[in-house]
Structure 1
Amino acid sequence: MNVSAENEMQIMPIGAGNEVGRSCCILKFMGKTVMFDCGVHPAYSGESSLPFFDSIEPEEIDLVLITHYHLDHAAGLPFLMERTNFNPKARVFMTQPTRAIYKALLSDFVRVSRNAPGEESLYTEEDVDKTMSRIEVVDYHAEVNVNGIKFRPFYAAHVLGGAMFMVEIAGVRILYTGDYSREEDRHLKAAEIPPFRPDVLIIESTYGVQEHEGRRLRERRFTDRVARVVRQGGRVLLPVFALGRAQELLLILDEFWEANPDLQNIPIYYASAIAQRCMPVYQTYINMMNDNVRRRFEISNPFDFKYVKNIRGINHFEDDGPCVFMASPGMLQNGLSRELFERWCTSKQNGLVLSGYSVEGTLAKHVLTEPDTIPRLDGRHVKRACSVDYITFAAHADFKETRMFIQDTTPTHCILVHGEKNNMARLRGALETIHNKSEGGKKLDIHSPLNCGTVKLKFKSELNARAINVLSQNVAHDTVKPGTRVSGLLIQQDFAYTLVRPPDLPQYTTLKLTHIDQHQVLPISKPFITLATQLKTTFRDIDYDDKKEIIRMANGGVIIELKERNSVKMSWESGYASDLLTEAVAAMILSKSPHEGDAPISEILRIGRKLLMARFGPVRRVKGSPHLVRLVIDLSKVGIDMLTGEVECTDEKLRERVRLAYKRIQAAMFPIPDIMCECCRAS
């Protein structure tokens, strides 16, 4: 059995829509709601940095998928889970390395926010701790089913544990990349291409149409610049995220120092207590890194750096000569990297090397314009004389990687997120030129929504149902023609349908059949034998036991027994046919004996009104027209002509429902009702 239907999917970024930061994307489809990522914006503080939660209903969220641990993708999660009306039954997933680092990184985020002047803490460390019990881990390629939402994580590179998620709802696939890179570096493999074609691709557009330098050229420029500054007696500041690209740069510097003995007396400092605490995570999940690291790990720990000194903070640092200092945060908005930059930026001997993407509104982005002065945290401006270099090691896809990824995954719809407005616009234009204007190119529907802007996509799908044991055993399945009617119970599990016979219900589901026995006691004003005669005249298979004064109908399915001189008891197993039969029998029991002459029309109408009242509630007669009645059902007015059976109501569905119900009542009052007889109407 199959039925075609058109369903609407809604995709809305409530963060990272035409911006970089506070990544958070909402997917709604087939009554399910999925949230991808939940970060904060590095250029803002307090609640201004959060995704636009007031544009959604957190209690409707069924599933949250976090791609990696960076603050702009995960730091809004404790606020969502502990400070909003987040669905208590929703499930939250991330990979094992992400969960392992998440707690340390967010606890540090709380501490820095609490100590930073003018900033407000979004939540407490206790809030972070509470989220841990609800966060579940998932392995790469493992399929998980959450109430009909299937998903699998795939390797995304970018950072250890980074994942892209393929979600499937009712047969429609959506791939959310998060931050990803298709280039292998010193310690991470390139992101993989999922083996399943997505219908919708939600992809980062951080670098727009820019293309990265080759890795070897980029590393050479980086080491040359660092060496030039320190050899001239200067200090090099490398603002980085505590985890991620920092480990990549440390691998490069440690190897370069090993190859250049004249630099080995110049210290490389790395001020990150978090990185020290999380280093066991890197050692534990060495199998998730590339062959280069795994081979080196067989000999010694590649993250046990020979020329790098870990220090707790600026109070443990003697600023007495040339050095390389790696400190967080990566965009100079506060913390140790900001403090050192304010101290060193006034000397032209010193150098600043920015190695990651800088978001609009941060000091790092401002410094790239090489301003003459820079604002300090205390509000004063100081002269900038140090050199500024931008050598990107950010593990984000460039234009070539984005273009090839789309070509390899072949989606029908593409949603651009996580990109500054101008970069995203240029990328969209370039992709449309490639896919939609070139001869023979595959058409690609591309969207670049603003925050809280909704992309609506229509999907036509066939609802298929397996029919099990509902056909006659003499009918071969391959001979069944379209339009053949079958009957059974239609079972829905997630978005799969199965048609089974009622007796087979326990075999294919956890459900069991339940039988409802009904009993009804009615007054009777005629001899019991007269009732038996009436029933025999109207129905088949009537068994009357005059000794026990019991009438059996429908092969014993309905039993009528005389309880006293003036009452009878009907007993039956509830069901559509048996309920309809007992309604008709009840009308005959309540009607006068035919030996007393035909019942007047007023008595028939009275019984009809009584049956209507039992079914729908209060019934009001129309003055002067006893055959017309008025009812109010579900706040809608309904009028019934009890002689013709016509029903008046503005609600078409309700009108049809009442018409069918009254038709049954007429069948009870008139075993062969004249008003429903076509031959009588024709005459």
Structure 2
Amino acid sequence: MSDRLSVSFRFDAGETASELECLPFGVHHDDEGVCLLIRMGPHRILLDCGLADISTLVNRFQKSAPRGSSPLPADFVLVSHAHPDHARGLLALHKAFPLLPIYASEVTSKLLSLNWQEQAPQEVPSFCQALPLRSPVEFKDGLVAEIIPAGHLPGAVAILLTYTTKERSYRLLYTGDFFLSNSRLVEGLRLEELRGIELDVLIIEGSYGTSRHPHRRTQENQLAERINRAIAERCSVLLPTPTLGLGQELLMLLRSHHHFTGRDLDIWVDRSVAVGCDAYLELLSHLPPSVQNFARHQPLFWDERIRPRVRRMQPQQIPDLSSPCIILTDSTADLSEYCQKGTGYWLTLVPEKTNIKIHDQYSRLMTVETYLLAQHSDGPGTTQLIHNLRPQHVIFVHGSPTYLADLTSLEELQNRYHLHSPAAGTLVELPIGETFLQPAAPETNYEGELTELGTVVTITLPDAITADPRWRHFADTGLIEARWQGEDLVLRGLSQRELLNQNSDRFTWSDLECCGTCRHQRGQRCWNPVSPLYNFKVTLEGYCPAFERNIEKSPES
């Protein structure tokens, strides 16, 4: 019997010593989607089902089932939010196991059907039951679940599971996709709702790894400025986006930003993005008060009366392209429908760290650039949440293996938590209060040599660094930018887009809220008694909720 089969059998039979285990069927490597099976004592909970193909999950339980029985793969399913990488396998799961209970927030339960728009409505039954927010629900004897708004997308929640035995209680929190910052249509995850939980296990996403982002408003201003320049240059703008989330955020940004309010401009919305807008309108009472107030004075999306005009593109409709316009369409659309000869030149903007592909056949008619409008927390936000919760075990999912390896390599995390970044099919045992040997961190440091030759400095690195998939992007143009960060020199590759747009705004490190710009950081240690990092050595890019900016000088001065 293989190791994986033996692991699976022990998980089913409950023969392990640990009360807590996690078996991932998908952790969002290579777009496989997220699907996690949790065991807490005798109970089994499936968290999300973003698998495009659920055969692995189905076959596993059919093979292990006693003859003549019809087991369920879990006691019940909890869904964090409606994005496809967390939910697209739910319909197939329901058809395979009709008696398996599936739960989500009320908003998510109403958005799930958008994952199967290609199917007739009668083929998509209403199988998801709604749970109240912030209200603990006992599903099994001794097993309680509570869902807490997580930002990121309307209806997205973090899931808190509590399993109580005679000896003690065990608590596990699954963040799903979370965002600490407020966006245009969703309020961010509130840390105060989670503080004070005596947490044993945290399953957290690491979409952006250790990347650091400027403030959300700065991101919005940079994007708006780029679109504004394109329109001023008589260039139309094409924005391919997913059905839910980013497209609606972009519309609200374009409608309310000072570059566009009152401007004689048409914004066209095509395909599934328009369907997503309609779904938001039906859930208006669940959106933030500021959005509801906006909707009292003018339509949230469809408005041909107030400039800029927002219009739904009808099937087979070709918009008037005599003047520059903005088109939002779904990420799988055939862009040749818009970018044709005689329609002028186009700027196509795609979000960073996305799987949206633009074919080279369109290169003669358009310029393709990327932009950042984050919907996930960056590295400092991720570590901030971990330090506030202080779990014994941290499991990283939802991100490229290299980004997750960056997080598990952080000294500030390794010194305090048991870190895991499992591949699909790898069982993670979670012993609580027992001696645990932390595995060696993945090797992410490379030794090189520095040579000074007159007016030139040469840095030589081993060719092993090129094996990392990020190298291709870093070395795209062969040009780099260097800047001081405290006592360290940071190198970053310059992309072709940056070289073509030398005047584009870029944030500086001193703009960030991090330990390097905090008044309580001295000698790379935190000296703030109210900080969870007090008396610890900190990385300059670290962050905690007790941050206070050092207004006297920045580390770059």
Q: TM (normalized to structure 1)?
A: 0.54
Q: Select which of 349, 354, 368 maps to 1:358.
A: 354
Which residue does 1:23 correspond to in 2?
A: 34
Residue 198 of structure 1: CA displacement?
A: 2.0
RMSD, aligned α-carbons: 2.8
Could you tell me whether the CA contact under 8 Å between 1:24 and 1:51 is conserved in 2? Answer: no
Which residue does 1:317 correspond to in 2?
A: 319
Which residue does 2:154 correspond to in 1?
A: 160
Which residue does 1:637 correspond to in 2?
A: none
Q: Deviations over 1:63-117 (max 9, x none)?
A: 10111111111111011110x3x2x5432111111111222x0341x25xxxxxx
Q: Deviations over 1:109-166 (max 9, x none)?
A: x25xxxxxxxxxxxx654421xx1x321011111111123310000101111111100
Amino acid at match of 1:204: E
SS in 1 for 2:33: coil
Which residue does 1:565 correspond to in 2?
A: none
CA distance in 1 between partners of 2:51 and 2:404 (Å):
20
Which residue does 1:256 correspond to in 2?
A: 257
CA distance in 2 between partners of 1:445 and 1:73 (Å):
25
Change over 3 Å in CA distance of 1:396–1:55 after alignment to 2: farther
Q: Select which of 429, 435, 439 maps to 2:413.
A: 435
Which residue does 1:106 correspond to in 2?
A: 115
Which residue does 1:187 correspond to in 2?
A: 185
CA distance in 2 between partners of 1:15 and 1:223 (Å):
36
Which residue does 1:393 correspond to in 2?
A: 373
1:420 aligns with 2:400: yes
CA distance in 2 between partners of 1:383 and 1:304 (Å):
31
Q: Identity over aligned residues, as a percent?
A: 22
Could you tell me whether the CA contact under 8 Å between 1:97 and 1:161 is conserved in 2? Answer: yes
Residue 9 of structure 1: CA displacement?
A: 2.3
Which residue does 1:406 correspond to in 2?
A: 386
Q: Deviations over 1:372-401 (max 9, x none)?
A: xx35xxxxx554562222222231111010
Which residue does 1:151 correspond to in 2?
A: 145
Change over 3 Å in CA distance of 1:273–1:65 after alignment to 2: same
SS in 1 for 2:317: helix
Residue 6 of structure 1: CA displacement?
A: 4.8
1:177 aligns with 2:190: no
Amino acid at match of 1:106: N
Residue 294 of structure 1: CA displacement?
A: 4.2
Could you tell me whether the CA contact under 8 Å between 2:18 and 2:429 is conserved in 1? Answer: no
Amino acid at match of 1:421: P
Could you tell me whether the CA contact under 8 Å between 2:236 and 2:344 is conserved in 1? Answer: no
Matches within 5 A, 1:258-273: 261=262, 264-271=263-270, 272-273=273-274
Which residue does 1:296 correspond to in 2?
A: 294
Which residue does 1:79 correspond to in 2?
A: 92
CA distance in 1 between partners of 2:340 and 2:171 (Å):
51
CA distance in 2 between partners of 1:69 and 1:346 (Å):
39
Q: Deviations over 1:301-345 (max 9, x none)?
A: 54455321112334353444421000113xxxx335x4447x369
Q: Deviations over 1:441-489 (max 9, x none)?
A: xx2000000111111122469xxxxxxxxxxxxxxxxxxxxxxxxxxxx
1:203 aligns with 2:214: no
Q: Deviations over 1:217-253 (max 9, x none)?
A: 2112111111222222222111112221222111111
Which residue does 1:542 correspond to in 2?
A: none
Could you tell me whether the CA contact under 8 Å between 1:345 and 1:384 is conserved in 2? Answer: no
CA distance in 1 between partners of 2:199 and 2:31 (Å):
24
SS in 1 for 2:257: helix
Matches within 5 A, 1:32-51: 32-40=43-51, 47=53
CA distance in 2 between partners of 1:402 and 1:320 (Å):
46
Q: Select which of 131, 139, 153 maps to 1:138.
A: 131
Q: Deviations over 1:248-296 (max 9, x none)?
A: 11111112367565xx33311111441353133232323xx2x532443
Could you tell me whether the CA contact under 8 Å between 2:173 and 2:199 is conserved in 1? Answer: yes
Q: Deviations over 1:33-55 (max 9, x none)?
A: 111111145xxxxx4x8875544
Residue 188 of structure 1: CA displacement?
A: 1.7
Residue 434 of structure 1: CA displacement?
A: 0.4
Change over 3 Å in CA distance of 1:81–1:420 after alignment to 2: same
Amino acid at match of 1:455: V
Could you tell me whether the CA contact under 8 Å between 2:285 and 2:292 is conserved in 1? Answer: no
Could you tell me whether the CA contact under 8 Å between 2:105 and 2:155 is conserved in 1? Answer: yes
Which residue does 2:72 correspond to in 1?
A: 59
SS in 2 for 1:387: strand
Amino acid at match of 1:358: T
SS in 1 for 2:283: helix
Could you tell me whether the CA contact under 8 Å between 1:236 and 1:352 is conserved in 2? Answer: yes
Amino acid at match of 1:165: I
Which structure 1 segments of 5+ residues have no match?
Answer: 42-46, 112-123, 368-373, 376-380, 438-442, 462-683
CA distance in 2 between partners of 1:169 and 1:74 (Å):
25
Could you tell me whether the CA contact under 8 Å between 1:22 and 1:50 is conserved in 2? Answer: no
Change over 3 Å in CA distance of 1:203–1:319 after alignment to 2: same
Residue 409 of structure 1: CA displacement?
A: 1.0
User: 1 or 2, which has the higher helix percentage?
Assistant: 1
CA distance in 2 between partners of 1:10 and 1:415 (Å):
11
Which residue does 2:519 correspond to in 1?
A: none
Matches within 5 A, 1:184-583: 184-193=182-191, 194-195=194-195, 196-256=197-257, 261=262, 264-271=263-270, 272-286=273-287, 289=288, 291-297=289-295, 299-303=297-301, 305=303, 306=306, 307-329=309-331, 334-336=332-334, 338-340=335-337, 343=339, 349-355=345-351, 357-359=353-355, 362-363=356-357, 367=358, 374=359, 381=361, 383-384=363-364, 386-430=366-410, 433-437=411-415, 443-459=416-432
Residue 418 of structure 1: CA displacement?
A: 0.4
Could you tell me whether the CA contact under 8 Å between 2:94 and 2:100 is conserved in 1? Answer: no
CA distance in 1 between partners of 2:155 and 2:407 (Å):
27
Change over 3 Å in CA distance of 1:99–1:242 after alignment to 2: same
Amino acid at match of 1:355: P
Could you tell me whether the CA contact under 8 Å between 1:18 and 1:424 is conserved in 2? Answer: no
Amino acid at match of 1:266: L
Change over 3 Å in CA distance of 1:64–1:265 after alignment to 2: same
Which structure 2 segments of 5+ residues have no match?
Answer: 1-15, 63-70, 435-557
Residue 7 of structure 1: CA displacement?
A: 3.1
SS in 1 for 2:222: helix
Amino acid at match of 1:199: D
SS in 2 for 1:326: strand
Amino acid at match of 1:456: E
CA distance in 2 between partners of 1:268 and 1:407 (Å):
43
Tell me the number of residue pairs that the alignment of Structure 1 and Structure 2 aligns.
397
Change over 3 Å in CA distance of 1:32–1:23 after alignment to 2: same
Change over 3 Å in CA distance of 1:246–1:454 after alignment to 2: same
Q: TM (normalized to structure 2)?
A: 0.65
Change over 3 Å in CA distance of 1:50–1:424 after alignment to 2: farther
Q: Deviations over 1:467-526 (max 9, x none)?
A: xxxxxxxxxxxxxxxxxxxxxxxxxxxxxxxxxxxxxxxxxxxxxxxxxxxxxxxxxxxx
Could you tell me whether the CA contact under 8 Å between 1:348 and 1:387 is conserved in 2? Answer: no
CA distance in 2 between partners of 1:419 and 1:265 (Å):
41
CA distance in 2 between partners of 1:354 and 1:51 (Å):
33
Amino acid at match of 1:206: S
CA distance in 2 between partners of 1:254 and 1:446 (Å):
43
Amino acid at match of 2:268: Y
CA distance in 1 between partners of 2:362 and 2:299 (Å):
43
CA distance in 2 between partners of 1:224 and 1:64 (Å):
43
Which residue does 1:95 correspond to in 2?
A: 105
